Homo-oligomer: A and B are copies of this chain.
Amino acid sequence: MTEASRLPPRPTDAELEILRVLWDTGPATVREVLEALASRRPMGYTTVLKLLQIMTEKGLVLRNEEERAHVYRAGRERHETERQLVGDLLDRAFGGSASRLAMHALATKPSSAAEIAAIRRMLDEQSEGEK
């Protein structure tokens, strides 16, 4: 059973840093990930390699071995993983109260007018659905 389960586990901190690179820049080799990471979280080459190997086992990334330098890409879309992480925090810390979590997020850092408008639209839709 070397296959990754259908739902990959929650990525760890270091794994999430790597996923963000892959989401931002698309499929990349170890060296490309290493360089993209250099400013934010410097790691050694083999550290990145090892993490990507482990993430492949977990199903967090997919590997293309056609070229000598394997090319990795995120196994799930950014949106899906974000949803997973939010849902996880929701359960672990907020007892499922999404509104409390949302208000904390909004209080932490002010949003732009456009972002606020987008949230209002979402709330409007939810209010409609509730009718």
Chain A residues in the interface with B (C-beta under 8 A): 13, 16-17, 20, 81-83, 85-87, 89-90, 92-113, 115-116, 118-120, 122-123, 126-127, 129-130
Contact = CB atoms under 8 A, between A and B. Distances in A.
A105 B98 contact: yes
Q: How many copies does the complex hold?
A: 2
B106 A126 contact: yes
B100 A82 contact: yes
A85 B89 contact: yes
Contact of A93 (B16, B90, B130): B16
A97 B110 CA distance: 9
Nearest to A115: B99
5 contacts: A17-B92, A99-B106, A103-B119, A111-B126, A119-B123
User: Most B CB atoms within 10 A — which of A90, A95, A97, A103?
Assistant: A103
Contact of A111 (B98, B108, B115): B98
Contact of A85 (B93, B102, B103, B130): B93
